[in-house]
Homo-oligomer: A and B are copies of this chain.
Amino acid sequence: MEKDRILPLQDAEALSLRILKKAGFSLAHAEAITRSVVAAQRDECHSHGLYRLIGCVETAMKGGVDTHAEPEVIDQAPGIVRIDAHRGNSLLSFERGKSQLKEKAERNGIAALAINNCFHFSALWPEVEALAEMGLVGLAMNPTHAFVAPAGGNRPLLGTNPIAFSWPRPGRHPYTFDFATSVVARGEIELHRRAGDSIPENWALDDNGHATTDPAAALGGAMLAFGGHKGSALSTMIELLAGPLIGDVLSHETQPANDAGTGKPYHGEIILALSPATFLGERADAHLAHAEVLFERILGQGARLPSQRRYEARERSLANGVTIPASLYAELQKLT
């Protein structure tokens, strides 16, 4: 059985920075990426943790991300910050735009941050949580690559299009969710393929548009949206808001970076911020306190809040260090 490595948080950060700098990333990009992947590893969100550094380095090698791109911040309108990532990673763009997003949200009540032309591989929850930590409500979305068939269709068109939401809870971790609008993440199907397991029938279609339990056929066919036509509609909304609305591409127009250098991994991301203080004025504290009733009643009937396991993992990691599977640790060492 595989043994885990336990690293202090700062050692995990140092490892990530070393890998990214060696792969050619500027310090600013390396730091922004490190904050995201170490936060995910800390929260035992392995799919978006240090493991992602491997893909990040590979994409840099294939020319799929500009490792030194300087995000260009554009004051598009009183309620819109626009950032041209210039083919750099999305995470630095978010960091460069978030204070202006906060100002606009607090002044107007609601504002949007539109990131264009970025390479995006990260979980969205660190970004919406950062907004919640500033007292804002955050809602983020982005297209990905065309992996998902629209409901009633049979060919890949929509991305796995994640949506993330975070709500500030005074004195507690925010209420946060972050999910793909496909039934499962693509990586989940990949894991089944590697393990030689079949997949449930409602996850994907094969190349002929028929339901399949074969993960390889699923990866070569089309994934399905969660919740049938409702999830498919939501995914279409994400394509529109994080695509044409912000002047960027649709999922079917992107491809992962490839060896030939013809991949087009760049797309957009939209992040909305809403300010309870501006919506409510002096009544804000009372209504934020009132929202707690909802969470108490969810927990009170034995249900969990979406990020509860992640926050529990965070407490463990902060106390004991960050857990990294030994094989991943070995693979990461090779990149240093």
Q: With CB as the reference atom, state the residue of chain B lying closest to A79.
A: B108
- What are the residues of chain B within 8 A of A293 when measuring CB–CB? 250
Tell whether A303 pairs with B153 under 8 Å between CB atoms, given A109-B77, A245-B279: yes
Q: Give the most central of A76, A80, A294: most B CB within 10 Å.
A: A294
* Residue from A77, A110, A181, A298 whose CB has the most chain B CB atoms within 10 Å: A110
Is A240 an interface position by the 8 A CB rule? yes
Oligomer: number of copies: 2
Q: CB < 8 Å: which of B230, B240, B241, B247 contacts A231?
A: B230
Nearest CB in chain B to that of A273: its residue: B110
Contacts of A137 in B (CB 8 A): 240-241, 245
Q: Which residues of chain B are near A179, meaning CB under 8 Å?
A: 230, 233
Question: Does A51 make an interface contact (CB < 8 A)?
Answer: no
Let me know if A187 is at the binding interface, CB within 8 A: no
Q: Is the interface of A mostly helix, strand, loop or mixed?
A: mixed
Residues 217-250 of chain A, each 1 if its beta carbon lies under 8 Å from chain B, else 0: 0000000001111111110110111011111001
Contact B154 A301 (CB under 8 A): yes
Is there contact, CB below 8 Å, between B78 and A291?
A: no
Return the CB mask of A292-315 against B: 1 if under 8 Å, else 0.
011001100111101000000000
Which chain B residue has the least Cβ–Cβ distance from A82?
B279
Q: Determine the residue in chain B with the shortest Cβ distance to A291.
A: B244
Residues of B within 8 A of A150 (CB): 298, 301, 303
Contact check, B301 vs A110: say whether CB atoms are below 8 A apart.
Answer: no
A149 and B109 in contact, given A227-B226, A279-B246 (Cβ under 8 angstroms): no
Chain A residues bordering chain B, tally (CB within 8 A): 70
A276 within 8 A of B: yes
Instruction: Confirm or deny: A42 has a beta carbon within 8 angstroms of a beta carbon on chain B.
Output: no
Within 8 A of B (CB), among A281-297: 283, 287-288, 290-291, 293-294, 297
A140 / chain B contacts, CB cutoff of 8 Å: none
| A237 with B165: CB separation less than 8 A | yes
**Cβ of A198 to closest chain B Cβ, rounded Å:** 20
Contact mask for chain A residues 169-210; partner B; CB cutoff 8 A; 1 contact, 0 none: 000000101010100000000000000000000000000000
Considering the complex, give the chain B residue whose CB is closest to the CB of A248: B287
State whether the Cβ of A14 lies closer than 8 Å to any Cβ in chain B.
no
| Further contacts, 11 of them, CB under 8 A, given A80-B108, A234-B234, A244-B290 | A79-B79, A109-B111, A152-B302, A152-B303, A177-B236, A177-B237, A244-B287, A245-B279, A246-B280, A247-B279, A250-B290
